[in-house]
Structure 1
Amino acid sequence: MRKIVIAPDSFKESLSAREVAAIIAGALAPLLPHTELLQLPVADGGEGTLDALLDATAGQRFQSMVRGPQGDMVKADWGMLGDGVTAVIEMASASGLALVARSARNPLYSCSHGTGELIRAALDHGARRIILALGGSATNDGGAGMLCALGLRLLDDAGQPLPPGGAALARLARIDSSTLDPRLAGCQFDIACDVDNPLTGPHGASMVFGAQKGADAAMQATLELALSHYGASLTAHCGRDIAAVPGAGAAGGMAAGALAFLPCRLRRGIDIVLDACGLDAALQDADLVITGEGRLDGQTIFGKTPIGVARRAKLRGLPVIAIGGGLGHDVAAVHEHGIDAVFACIASVGTLDEALSQAPANLARSARNIGALLAMNLRR
């Protein structure tokens, strides 16, 4: 019997990784009746990481009411893995873009406080290791909100706490870390990070990712100045140039805040997830791998799920097909990193909202066509 491993990421804002894997398998099954279709939904450290890791380890899901990116209360999921001591927290669950309507997105004021509240909840539950999955954030506050929820005090020149949001960091005069939750010192943090961007500069958090969070050019400039001042303040307080660390700009600079005040290490999110999900074992007797994400383009090669899956597949000489909701003009770059063929789901010109709403049908059609090609090959 042939075996196909289906290991996709989510299609952001439309389908979870589990839904993507199920749709692909459902479309292939009638055409490939004698093929094992192993569904292994994965993630790269952004949305979907919690689901992937809980599924892989028989973990337990929890919910907490926390402060969302705009200050309103939101219900956020987090989890404990099967080992009972490792917590998984997705920043997106508490501080994510999906929690804010497009018309209301404003990273000048959005805050990561809710992510810190989830960390507190995990500590209350006895966590001694925390996997913090970055990605999909609505915030550009350098993790300041998260740290303040954990006891850090960021003060202006009058000794008053700064208001929420990235713009306020320009007024930072003093950092008081004496009130940080003491339990943090005994907890190891693995920061799942899928980018190498520094905190500031042309490749930093504000200039690269600010626009997708609702920032126009003027707002990006404001945030850049604020994070530059924040980065300098972190360096003065910690004695380490946090801002320049590759990956410090991830999730609006959340990684920079974590590096400055949490006992942590940055790891490729895809490696954390693929190790926990047992991808290597699943590939041992496979014949083909199908992966994918919402958009395949030149950025996919920088730590995204399809490339992480493809690299491990190529270690075993396996062919890899990737399905994307859409393809960028520079998608050919993925062929140099282990992906043999790419397929786009979108069949006609339309709006983004139309593409998102039609994602299940578009994906099923693309997967069905791939299955037909594979079936023809088997009949030869």
Structure 2
Amino acid sequence: MKRCIIMPDSYKGTLSSLQICNTMENVIKRHFPECETIKVPMADGGEGTVDCFLYATDAQKIQVRTTGPYGETIETYYARLGDTAVIEMASAAGLVLAKNSKYGLNPRKTTTYGVGLMMKHAIDHGCKEIILGLGGSCTNDAGVGAARALGTCFFDTRGKEFIPTADTLLRIADIDNSIAEERLQGVKVTAMCDIDNPLFGPEGAAYVFAPQKGADDATVRLLDSNLRGLADIIEGVLGKRVSQMPGAGAAGGFGAGVVSFFQGKLRSGIDTLLDLVHFDDLLEGTDMIFTGEGRIDSQSLRGKAVIGIAMRAKVSDVPVVAVVGSIAEDITPAYDMGVTSIFSINRAPMSFEEVKEMSEQNLADTMDSLMRFYRCVEER
């Protein structure tokens, strides 16, 4: 093996994508010292996306002061490559930030305003493309907070302007999006979105995702009703029909907000990242790709990292080996989508709590077995 690409997603709760990259590389180099290894840690748009992008490219780390989920001042950063900014909404409106705040998790009150301030900073400093990672949010405000930060004005039935949160979306009677539209003139906004949930309903933002953000049953019903009302106002005032749009429910409805307020588009997160790192160019002369994630299952087949990589590599006939934490029973279609083989690092039937401390060693042992087999085949 002369050249390989290592590009795993993280094993949630155990190993980061960069840790996996380094472990894989160490084992590969032990068996194939001359092999050129290209490490590209991957992320799904949530926490770690910007760090992965900074590692894999020559992007700049841009420090910025913004606000957190409850309006508190925080310091964070985004990545800039040329005139493109990559921003994680989790860095200003993430679950971890809310959990660690004195207010805790409360999707009725958390806001995406700080995400909008980060977008404004990037635009004010010359960025012409903004890529938003929508994973890991603590919000359910459909992006109205971010829109307000960019200049969108919201009015109640008396014509009085106010700043909405998730629990006051039904107060919105009119929207003036002209300032935001002017600010975004000539700016392309893309949201990395790997789910197809609608804005509201049983599969929508509130019912599916709000409970993990701290919502009880009554709050879920309130949030869902508010999103329904907002969708009607958006359609009536802005002319955008987003209620059942696939991905509208991503990140507490921010998917709908991206389309409604920023004239943006939703796109597969993995395809967006692969384009940013010029993946198709990296394939030339590559003998093997090693990827992986914590668990490969039916959700993976809908366009997560492993399958997104495999489908692109298949076009160039480059083998893809997925080394994962666990394997579900329903992943046979993965092979038709470009995955060559799948291996689990778990070596004995153990609970997650037991096995998570052994993940790095189990990964190294699994890669060692794979390299021994590969070397044997090459030498025959």
Determine the structure 2 residue equivalent to 1:294. Answer: 294
Structure 2 residue matching 1:114: 3-state secondary structure: helix
Deviation at 1:362, TM superposition (A): 4.3
Query: CA separation in 1, counterparts of 2:242 and 2:204?
Result: 13
1:307 is displaced (CA, Å) by 0.8
Q: Distance in 2 between matches of 1:319 and 1:235?
A: 46
Answer whether contact 1:46 1:269 (CA < 8 A) is retained. no
Unaligned runs of 5+ in 2: none
- 1:315-353 CA-partner distances (Å, limit 9, x unpaired): 12232211233444534443332223223345553456x
Structure-2 separation of matches of 1:188 and 1:338: 31
Mapped to 1, the partners of 2:198 and 2:123 lie a distance apart of 29
- Taking a change above 3 Å as real, the CA distance of residues 367 and 226 of structure 1, as seen in their structure-2 partners, is farther
Structure 1 residues 97 and 296: alpha-carbon distance in aligned structure 2, compared to 1, 3 A threshold: farther
TM-score when normalising by structure 2: 0.88
Q: After TM superposition, give the deviation of residue 355 of structure 1 in Å.
A: 6.1
2:120 maps to 1:123: no
Could you say which residue in structure 1 is the equivalent of 2:85?
87
Match of 1:101 among 99, 102, 107: 99
1:126-162 deviations in Å (ceiling 9; x for gaps) = 1122122222222121111111221223344453524
**1:246, 1:350 → 2: CA distance?**
35
1:346-368 per-position Cα deviation (integer Å, ceiling 9, x unaligned) = 5553456x766655444334433
- 1:276 is displaced (CA, Å) by 2.0
Deviation at 1:24, TM superposition (A): 1.6
Residue number in structure 2 paired with 1:271: 271
1:72 aligns with 2:107: no
Secondary structure at the aligned position of 1:335 is classed as helix
Conservation of the 8 A alpha-carbon contact between 1:95 and 1:111: yes
Tell me, which stretches of 5 or more residues in structure 1 are unaligned?
Answer: none
Pair 1:365–1:100, CA change in 2 (3 A):
farther
Per the alignment, residue 227 of structure 2 pairs with: 227
Q: CA deviation at 1:93?
A: 1.7
Question: Where does residue 340 of structure 1 map in the other structure?
Answer: 340
User: CA separation in 2, counterparts of 1:336 and 1:67?
Assistant: 45
Give the aligned residue type for 2:308: G
CA contact (8 A) 1:112 1:143 kept: yes
TM-score by length of 1: 0.88
Structure 1: which amino acid aligns with 2:274? Answer: L
CA offsets, 1:64-114, max 9 Å, x none? Answer: 222212433332211210x2x221111122212232339933323222111
Partner of residue 236, structure 1 = 236
Verify the 8 A CA contact 2:145 2:164 in the aligned structure 1. no
Moved more, 361-370 or 282-291: 361-370
Name the stretch that deviates more: 289-298 or 16-25: 16-25
Distance 1:337 1:233, change over 3 A: same
* Aligned-pair identity (%): 38
Query: Aligned with 2:235: secondary structure?
Result: helix
> Using a 3 Å threshold, how does the CA distance of structure 1 residues 153 and 216 change in structure 2: closer, same or farther?
same
- The answer to whether the 8 Å contact 1:8/1:17 transfers is yes
Give the residue type in structure 1 aligned to 2:115: T
Aligned partner letter, 1:349:
M
Say if 1:345 and 1:228 are closer, same or farther in 2 by CA, change over 3 A: farther
Question: Could you give the per-residue CA deviations for residues 226-252 of structure 1, whole angstroms, max 9, x where no partner exists?
Answer: 111111111111112122222222222
**Could you say which residue in structure 2 is the equivalent of 1:161?**
162
**Counterparts of 2:248 and 2:238, CA distance in 1:** 15
Question: How far apart, in 2, do the equivalents of 1:11 and 1:168 lie?
Answer: 37
The change in CA–CA distance for 1:29 and 1:183 in structure 2 (over 3 A counts) is same
Contact 1:162–1:171, Cα closer than 8 Å, also in 2:
no
Contact 1:64 1:76 in 2 (8 A): yes
The corresponding residue for 1:58 is: 58
Aligned to 2:180, the other structure's residue is in SS state: coil
What corresponds to 1:320 in structure 2? 320
Q: Show CA shifts across 1:257-305 (max 9, x none).
A: 1111213222222222112212212222222211112332111122211
| Counterpart amino acid of residue 84 in structure 2 | T
Most deviating of 191-200 and 206-215: 206-215
The code of the aligned residue for 2:29 comes to A
Aligned twin of 2:28: 28
User: Quick one: which amino acid aligns to residue 344 of structure 1?
Assistant: S
Shift of 1:14: 4.8
- Structure-2 change in CA distance of 1:139 and 1:360 (3 Å): farther
Cα separation, partners in 2 of 1:375 and 1:188, compared to 1, 3 Å: same
Matches within 5 A, 1:341-360: 341-346=341-346, 349-350=350-351, 359-360=359-360
How many residue pairs get matched? 376
Alpha-carbon separation, structure 2, partners of 1:218 and 1:328: 34
Which whole-Å CA distance do the structure 2 matches of 1:170 and 1:183 have between them?
26
Structure 1 SS opposite 2:294: strand
1:160-309 matched pairs, under 5 angstroms: 161-164=162-165, 166-180=166-180, 182-309=182-309
Q: Using the TM superposition, give the Cα deviation of residue 39 of structure 1 relative to its aligned residue in structure 2, in angstroms.
A: 1.4
- CA 1:75–1:350 in structure 2 vs 1: closer, same or farther (change >3 Å)? farther
